[in-house]
Chains A and B, each alone.
Chain A
């Protein structure tokens, strides 16, 4: 079952912040975050395992609330290179399969 991502799209100016949310109706084993630029394959950003951890990648960080089955990706002081479509992927505790959300298109403008 596909996780729910929001918002669908966001437009930022350089230096602004944004939050992308991902929620699942299933008990989660882990949450993945990927970024895909136009015409390219998705690129791994980070994994969060259950335990409520936070992780960071450059000025991009994420949190995972295991009890709420939710994860959030934080884009801080956005750069032009942050533009792309961000996908969360959830791995359920039942079958360990990775299911991707619908994606959030981020556009960062100068």
Chain B
């Protein structure tokens, strides 16, 4: 299974600032997925990052708030922009899905004060 390195593992940020989360996979993958897990909640898909094209965002998530880069087949970044306390969550990148297991990075625990 893919090994996914995600950083930072946690951060405390002030409202109005932005944080970029990095995700590195040890093998080439076509699609990478970014999830958000709010405290005590389930996992919600933010967007699908495809190499060479713009990310596909789910309902309720917009590019201006969560810009995503996918410069190659092993790397992606998610930026949480203009943060507010409501953005405090765990953000997870993942690969796989469909009829294959979904493997997650260790997550980024974000606290916005």
Give A residues with C-beta under 8 Å from B.
2, 29-30, 32, 34, 40-44, 47, 49, 87, 89, 91, 96-103
- CB atoms of B42 and A41 under 8 A apart: no
Given A30-B98, A91-B97, residue A100 in contact with residue B43 (CB < 8 A): yes
**CA distance in complex: A29, B99 (Å):** 8
Name the B residues within 8 Å of A103 (CB-CB).
42
Whole-angstrom distance between the Cβ of B44 and the nearest chain A Cβ: 8
User: B107 contacts which chain A residues (CB < 8 A)?
Assistant: 41
Main secondary structure, interface of B, reads strand
Residues of A within 8 A of B97 (CB): 91, 96-98
Which partner residue on chain B sits nearest A42 by CB separation?
A: B104
A41 vs B1: C-alpha distance when bound (angstroms): 15
Q: Is the CB of B42 within 8 A of A44?
A: no
B60 proximal to A (CB < 8 A): no
Instruction: Chain A residues near B104: list those with CB within 8 A.
Output: 41-43
- A45 to chain B: closest residue by CB: B101
Smallest CB–CB gap between B18 and chain A, Å? Answer: 23
- Interfacial chain A residues near B42, Cβ < 8 Å: 2, 87, 100-103
Measured between beta carbons, the chain A residues less than 8 angstroms from B22 are none
Chain B 102-113: CB-based contact to A (< 8 A → 1; otherwise 0): 111111000000
Report how far A43 CA is from B1 CA in the complex, Å. Answer: 12
Q: Which of B1, B41, B44, B101 has a CB less than 8 Å from the CB of A32?
A: B101
CB distance A97 to B45 under 8 Å? yes
For the complex formed, measure the closest distance between the CB of A52 and the CB atoms of chain B, giving whole angstroms. 15
Q: Across the interface, name the chain B residue whose C-beta is closest to A91.
A: B98
Q: Which of B1, B44, B45, B101 has the most CB of A within 10 A?
A: B101
> In the complex the two chains form, what is the Cα distance from A44 to B102 in whole Å?
7
